[in-house]
Amino acid sequence: MTKRSIGKLSKETGLSVQTIRYYEQLGILPEPERTESGYRNYDDDYFEHIHFIKNAREMGFSLEEIKLLVNLRRSEEALGQDVKEIVNSKIQEINEQIKSLETTKNYLSSLNQSCSGKMSTDKCPILNKLKCSEDA
């Protein structure tokens, strides 16, 4: 199994050295072995750990949620239901974001339709509505 320094792991994974150290502090990445002189020494398993973290981040999980998922992965007592609860919570959060974005989109569409685009900007209903935020 190949061992590498934090700098080499950083280059190979695309994560900064600071991010790797931060993930270790949070407990998202396990503490690596250390050389006799105290340098971190990473084996090939760290690629899997980092790939897991990157995939979870791409799916919108927060670092706190990723820590929960990592702990479930490491646990011998955890069940898939525990993971499903976290995923269901994330789905609910995303649905709320979608609803909020749809509301914003509809409001902007309404504003856009209110402007012919032919008047001066001081008479533009979009700009006038935006400056009156309590009506928004």
- Delimit the domains of the chain by residue range: 1-77, 79-136
C-alpha distance from residue 77 to each of 30, 71, 80 (Å): 19, 11, 10
For 114, residues 6+ apart whose C-beta sits below 8 A from its C-beta are 125, 126, 129
Nearest to 16 by CA among 26, 28, 27, 7: 7
Question: What is the pLDDT averaged over residues 41-67?
Answer: 95
> Which of 38-42, 45-49, 96-100, 114-118 has maximum average pLDDT?
96-100
- Contact in structure between 34 and 41 (CB atoms under 8 Å): yes
> Model confidence at 43, in pLDDT bands (50, 70, 90)?
very high
- Residue 136's pLDDT is 46
> Model confidence at 133, in pLDDT bands (50, 70, 90)?
low
What is the model's pTM? 0.78
Q: In the CATH scheme, what architecture does the domain 1-77 have?
A: Orthogonal Bundle (1.10)
Please count the other Cβ atoms lying within 10 Å of the Cβ belonging to residue 102: 10
pLDDT single digits (tens) 5-19: 999 999 999 999 999
Start-to-end CA span in the chain (Å): 60
- Residue 132's pLDDT is 77
